[in-house]
Amino acid sequence: MLLGVNIDHVATVRNARGGVEPQPIEAAKICELLQVSSITTHLREDRRHIKDKDVEIISKTISTNLNLEMAVTDEMQQIALRIKPHSVCLVPEKRQEVTTEGGLDVAGQLEKITSFVKPLKDAGIEVSLFIDPSGEQVEASAKTGAQFIEMHTGSYANAFGTDKEQEEFLKLKNAAKLAQQLGLKVNAGHGLDYKNVKRMHEIGGLCELNIGHSIISRAIFVGLESAIEEMVELVR
């Protein structure tokens, strides 16, 4: 399995003082040096952490695959088509949420998502859909033309260590299997940390895990390089 590192919260810290430090591009350079498989930034509609300029600078400076997380909006599609990241991950977005809550409802907006995916794919961008691990969402995702799904691991992460853990874990395992049978490649992410990440190895054939908050949190105490290296070791 590969590790994609989400560096949004470097920008969260920077924005807390409205200044220039710490800079997401510096984090991206460390990720590149450590040869992580991708660097993820979520350009939110409200620009609460990563800003347009960050994405611009990272995409121009870094050769590691850039994965742009984005909402299904015309504005974001235009930005992606201009910047041409290696991949985009389509996520639902609500202004009030603290972080991405729940997956994209692909089944409920199949036509919209399908037509949104096409120009991105035609531009050579890999498309991933961030969905809850449900059969309905997986089956719908397979009809959109997207090459990847990213399974939302938030419910598993919240249930980790409780009597609900196994139930949530099995949802991920079954959804991954179904997706692979339908020809989709499968990533996973959200809420994964240095403990709960280990069970991802029990799910066959996952391509990449996208992890942000726990890595940036650990980096405060051990430095970003060590925090990434420790996670790479667990994910490998």
- 190 binds ligand PXP, rule: CB under 6 A: yes
Instruction: Spell out a b/e string for 69-85, using b for 16 or more CB atoms within 10 Å of the CB, else e.
Output: bbbbeeebbebbeebeb
Which residue, among 185, 225, 232, has the nearest Cα to 211 in the 3D structure?
Answer: 232
Longest dimension (CA), the chain: 48
CB of 74 to ligand PXP, least distance (A): 20
| Chain centre to alpha carbon of residue 185 | 14
- Residue 5, both tokens: 């590192």
Which residue, among 6, 37, 42, 11, has the nearest Cα to 24 in the 3D structure?
Answer: 11
Q: Which stretch binds ligand PXP (CB under 6 A): 111-119, 169-177, 185-193, 223-231?
A: 185-193
- List C-alpha distances in Å: 132 to 39, 80, 85, 207: 22, 24, 24, 17
Query: 34-73 mask for ligand PXP (x: CB under 6 A)?
Result: --------x--------------------------x----
Residue with tokens 């510096």, as numbered in its chain: 26
Out of 31, 39, 76, 91, the residue judged to bind ligand PXP by CB under 6 A: 91
Q: How many residues bind ligand PXP (CB under 6 A)?
A: 19
Eight-state DSSP code of residue 170: H
Which one, 6 or 144, has the nearer CB to ligand PXP? 6
Which one, 6 or 77, has the nearer CB to ligand PXP? 6
φ, ψ at 52 (rounded to 5°)? -55, -40
- 99 binds ligand PXP, rule: CB under 6 A: yes
- Fill in the amino acid letter for 30: I
CB of 194 to ligand PXP, least distance (A): 11
CB of 204 to ligand PXP, least distance (A): 20
Catalytic residues: 42, 69, 190
Q: Under rule CB under 6 A, which residues in 120-139 are in contact with ligand PXP?
A: 130
- 87 binds ligand PXP, rule: CB under 6 A: no
Q: Under rule CB under 6 A, which residues in 197-226 are in contact with ligand PXP?
A: 210-214
- 156 binds ligand PXP, rule: CB under 6 A: no
- Residue 46, both tokens: 């409200």
Interface residues toward ligand PXP, by CB under 6 A: 6, 8, 42, 69, 89, 91, 99-100, 130, 150, 189-192, 210-214
